[in-house]
A and B are shown apart, each in its own frame.
Chain A
């Protein structure tokens, strides 16, 4: 199975400042159809996960443009341009290129 490794696992942040989370996969996530199926999800305390980013950099419906995704191959990054209080929670990357789909361990964004 593809192992997804996130860093850091805990990210202290300051409101209004940028934040960045890294995700690395044990195999390349690029496909022959030209797509790279790397997703980012946000889970606020007590809530179900919510999709933020799919195909590396495409924002999901209703996701603020403060969130951006980048990367290719095995290295990916989620960036928040200015952290707001509503952003606190756990962030997960997930690969959908290889079966079975696998998630990273999660990065806890906290003050």
Chain B
């Protein structure tokens, strides 16, 4: 079965850090750009960042640039999101997705991040 599993979410304090992981199974992520997308509970979707197949090209949305870092380990068939200087407004469900041809074709199940004191 082709699956993406996101993990690492939880409760963090404002100003704190979390590291999200995304493990792929049933396919090889080396064929794909990979992205992180988040969704405020009960609200819309926001693309956050993506990373090229070889990891050498990365893009971020302005609100997380300089605070979040996307990375990947193709040998482990995994992608990561290091989140620093967390704010209350980062509270969201975080999805990892495969990206091919400027579209998101496979979504993981999401991991919840709550930033609160």
| Residues in A lying within 8 Å of B, measured CB to CB | 35, 37, 39, 41, 48-51, 54-55, 60-61, 92, 94, 96-97, 99-106
Assuming A48-B110, A92-B44, A92-B45, is B103 touching A100 (CB within 8 A)?
no
A74, B105: Cα distance in complex, Å: 23
A41, B59: Cα distance in complex, Å: 22
Q: How many A-B residue pairs have CB under 8 A?
A: 58
Q: Is the CB–CB distance between B107 and A106 below 8 Å?
A: no
A51: B residues at CB distance < 8 A: 103-105, 107
Our pick among B60, B105, B108 for the contact of A48 (Cβ within 8 Å) is B108
Q: Is the CB–CB distance between A54 and B101 below 8 Å?
A: yes
**Can you name 22 A-B residue pairings with CB atoms under 8 Å?**
A37-B102, A48-B107, A48-B108, A48-B109, A49-B45, A49-B104, A49-B107, A51-B103, A51-B107, A54-B103, A54-B105, A55-B103, A60-B105, A61-B105, A92-B45, A96-B103, A97-B102, A100-B47, A103-B45, A104-B44, A105-B44, A106-B45
B62 interface residue per 8 A CB criterion: yes
Distance from A96 Cβ to chain B, minimum over Cβ atoms (Å): 3
Q: Is the CB–CB distance between A39 and B107 below 8 Å?
A: no
The number of residues on chain B lying at the interface, defined by a beta carbon within 8 Å of a beta carbon of chain A, is: 19
B95 interface residue per 8 A CB criterion: yes
Q: Is the CB–CB distance between A100 and B105 below 8 Å?
A: no
Assuming A48-B95, A49-B95, A105-B44, is B107 touching A96 (CB within 8 A)?
no
Assuming A49-B95, A99-B59, A100-B62, is B104 touching A41 (CB within 8 A)?
yes
Distance from A48 Cβ to chain B, minimum over Cβ atoms (Å): 4
Q: Is the CB–CB distance between B102 and A103 below 8 Å?
A: no
A105, B39: Cα distance in complex, Å: 11
Distance from B108 Cβ to chain A, minimum over Cβ atoms (Å): 7
Our pick among A37, A61, A94 for the contact of B45 (Cβ within 8 Å) is A94
Our pick among A50, A101, A103 for the contact of B107 (Cβ within 8 Å) is A50
